[in-house]
Structure 1
Amino acid sequence: MQTNTDPSSAYQNRTSRGKSPSVMLVLIIWVLLIAAGITSAYLYSNHMKQEMVRQIQADTHKQMNELKQSYEARFAELSGEVKELESKVQSFNELLTFTKDNATSKTDNSNKLYTQLNEVKKQLSELQRKMDLLK
């Protein structure tokens, strides 16, 4: 066995062995800190994503309810207009029938009633088409 009697080489061997565990400890701590930072960033980003999804779902649900209420109100309004027009058409039909029964020949009044009846029928069909689109 050969012993090294040179004092400088003995000092180097001792210092390199003495610093090695502390350097390794610092490296391990740095690696653990980096891993903890990456893990916490990943968990936080997942948490934020879930919160945003919940918020978007709540907003969407709220908007859908508002849209549904608006649709139902508009549908009820159009239904009322259709019923009103149907009653007008019915009264025009009755008036037209009465006028036809009492008229001996075609007059301007009966022509006007036919014209009005046709206009009301057009409006009724247009409202019916709008209601079908809303359905």
Structure 2
Amino acid sequence: METPIQTASQTARSTGRSAQRRSNRAFIVFVILWVMLIGAGIAGAKLYSDHLTSSMTADINRQTNVKLTAMQKQYDERLQAAESSYKSEIAALQGKIDALNELLTFTKDNASAKTDNSNKLFTQLSEVKKQLEELKKNLDVLK
């Protein structure tokens, strides 16, 4: 038979065990929830850092493209200015060459045995031709 002392002692044991089981279950649930929260925090941080990386990369690409476009435009403008400058210098030298050719032709026609100005004109003409060839080479290099 059961005595009240035995019954109380058995009930205390069963209640202690179930309380300990409940405590163990609560601890396990707490640990699982804690691990899930930590995992969610890590996943959120990873997603946010990926988002920041992609947005910064896109922004840097955009800025780089803008700067490259501006530099290309500036380079093209400088090249056009240099080309037009060389063309104008070549045209001026061509005018000088034509004038010297006319003068040389005139002096050849009017040259006498006493004067030899044609040598000076040939020298000037050759110098002008050298300058013209040099300018043409520079223009070819620029292209």
TM-score normalised according to structure 1 size: 0.90
- Using the aligned pairs only, state the percent identity: 36
Instruction: Specify the structure having the higher radius of gyration (Cα).
Output: 2
Segments of structure 1 that go 5 or more residues without pairing to the other structure are: none
Q: 1:13 to 1:102 in 2, by over 3 A?
A: same
- Cα separation, 2, equivalents of 1:106 and 1:134: 48
Shift of 1:4: 9.6
- Cα separation, 2, equivalents of 1:106 and 1:70: 52
Equivalent residue runs for 1:50-89 within 5 Å? 50-89=58-97
Q: 1:106 to 1:78 in 2, by over 3 A?
A: farther
Q: For residue 13 of structure 1, what is the aligned residue in structure 2?
A: 21
1:134 aligns with 2:134: no
User: Any idea what the Cα deviations from partners look like across 1:33-60, whole Å, max 9, x if unmatched?
Assistant: 1101101101110110010000000000
Shift of 1:20: 1.3
Task: Tell me which of 33, 48, 52 is aligned to 1:40.
Answer: 48
Shift of 1:133: 1.0
Higher relative contact order (CA 8 A, sep 6+): 1
Q: For residue 124 of structure 2, what is the aligned residue in structure 1?
A: 116
TM-score normalised according to structure 2 size: 0.85
| Pairs aligned (count) | 133
Segments of structure 2 that go 5 or more residues without pairing to the other structure are: 1-10
Task: Tell me which of 30, 33, 37 is aligned to 1:29.
Answer: 37
